[in-house]
Structure 1
Amino acid sequence: MTTDPAAYGLEGLGPVGWALAYAGLLVWLFAGMLDFGFHRRTDLPHTSGLGESTLHLLQLGLVGGAIMLAMLFEIDVLVIVAMALLVLVHAFVGYADTRHAFRYRSILPMEQHIHSVLDMAPWIGLGLMVALTWPAAISADFPLNLRCPALPIPVWLLVLVPAALLCGLPALLEWRAAWRARREPRHVA
């Protein structure tokens, strides 16, 4: 298995760039974890409840799908368009999420700032992917080829393990708590 970034169509970043990109991913994931902390603080299961928590799972699925596309397939215009659509739908779901939550619970100023990171990070990631894979990202062919060679297992682990622990697990725990509280009276925070 090769460790040469050129083999993956990502030669433009270099080691410092990769470290910065990974740090950006971790900041994004940490922001997600902080957001779930704000949800606990405002008792989401008993305020905005299952509706908001389900929207959070949908948002995670959308950005997770975009990340999986980038990790599984060679980047071309079809993959970039699919990723852009997922990011765009994520933005609309994020708006619906905030509108729903606002009716039932207080959204503190710090939580709003965390939302800024969560809203912009997918767009920044998409822009970085286009910049790194130029001109393949705008090629006219639509082959949808799996990466060959595939990304090394350590890369998968470095992306998926923090995502699962910092955002996936808190999201599932939040949804479970909201599911359990769904028949209880709703509070307004």
Structure 2
Amino acid sequence: MPADLPAFEHAARLVLMYGLVPLWLLAGVGDWLCHRATQIERNAGVTESLLHMLMLAEVGLPLLLVLFLEVNALLIAVVLAALVIHEITAWWDVHYASRRRHIAPVEQHMHSLLEVLPLAAASYVVVLHWDQFLALFGRGTEPARMALALKAEPLPPAYLAGLLVAVVLLAGLPYLEELWRCVRWRRRERDALLAQATRAMRGGS
């Protein structure tokens, strides 16, 4: 084993914690701003906004698991499965939205980041727990551990608190606001159609 391996692992964890995860949050904010600029509530609406919430859950749940639980074969399998599901949902989202609103180049770049950054983060998790990844396939020097357990060495409390606050402020609240905006617009449209139909019925009687 190389003598500088602990230094590499430390550097990889720093990149993951203070590089990839914050970039993912910022890309999410950028994407939300793009949706707002195209007035998503007036075109792709509630359906696309629900897809955004679904994708947020698909990456948010694995993130929480990795933050608080020991990373083992089971957790790696969950992360990789969620990554595949997220990519499928991302394709569904773009396929749906592109037929209903303009997706500008800057939004396409946000989408690229939101697809690549979870993949990069998952790759870092795999590399940092390589033996457990290999154990999924019956290889490596360790047996596959398939139990959920809290981390023996938790991440720094200040980091966890700061990250959870950032997730709420930069991911949770913006996309909840987007969904509420879409639902409110759909209600207005429905009420306007009902009022128009009522006037038409009264005029014809």
Q: The TM-score by the shorter chain falls in which range?
A: 0.7 to 0.9
8 A Cα contact 1:76 1:138, kept in partner: no
SS class of match (1:144): coil
Paired positions, count: 176
* Alignment correspondent of 1:20: 15
Q: Which runs of 5+ in 2 are unaligned?
A: 1-5, 136-143, 191-205
- Rate the CA distance shift 1:184–1:104 in 2: closer, same or farther, 3 A: farther
Cα deviation, 1:32-80, whole Å, max 9, x if unaligned, reads 1011000011000111000000000110011001101111221111100
Q: Give the secondary-structure state (helix, strand or coil) at the position aligned to 1:116.
A: helix
Distance 2:113 2:34 in 1: 14
Q: Does the alignment pair 1:169 with 2:165?
A: no
Distance in 2, Cα, partners of 1:12 & 1:135: 16
Deviation at 1:123, TM superposition (A): 0.9
Q: Which has the larger radius of gyration?
A: 2
SS of residue in 2 equivalent to 1:150: coil
Structure-1-length-normalised TM-score: 0.85
Match of 1:105 in 2: 101
Paired with 2:167 and 2:133, the residues of 1 have a C-alpha distance of 25
Structure 1 residues without counterparts, runs of 5 or longer? 1-9
Deviation at 1:18, TM superposition (A): 4.1
Structure 2 distance, partners of 1:122, 1:136, is 19
Stretch moving more, 18-27 or 164-173: 18-27
Q: Aligned pair 1:92/2:88, yes or no?
A: yes
**Alignment correspondent of 1:57:** 53
Report the Cα distance in structure 1 between the residues aligned to 2:169 and 2:7, rounded to whole angstroms. Answer: 29
Find 1:31's aligned residue among 27, 30, 38: 27
RMSD (Å) for aligned C-alpha atoms: 1.9
Identify which of 178, 181, 186 aligns with 2:182: 178
Partners of 2:132 and 2:145 within 8 A in 1: no
Measure how far apart 1:24 and its partner are.
2.1
- Counterpart for residue 156 of structure 2: 152
Partner residue in 2 for 1:131: 127
Q: How far 1:184 sits from its partner (Å)?
A: 4.2
Tell whether the 8 Å contact from 1:74 to 1:146 is kept in structure 2 after alignment: yes
CA apart distance, 1:104:
0.9
Change (3 A) 1:172 1:119: same
CA contact (8 A) 2:58 2:83 kept: yes
Structure 1 residue runs of 4+, over 6 Å off? Answer: none
Aligned-residue sequence identity (percent) comes to 32
Deviations 1:116-150 (A, max 9, x none): 00011111111000111222333323222221243
Structure-2 separation of matches of 1:129 and 1:151: 14
Task: Report the CA distance between 1:152 and its aligned residue.
Answer: 3.4
Alpha-carbon contact 2:59-2:118 (below 8 Å) kept: yes
Q: Taking CA–CA contacts closer than 8 Å with sequence separation of 6 or more, which of the two structures ends up with the larger relative contact order?
A: 1
In the alignment, residue 141 of structure 1 is paired with which amino acid?
R
- Per the alignment, residue 68 of structure 1 pairs with 64
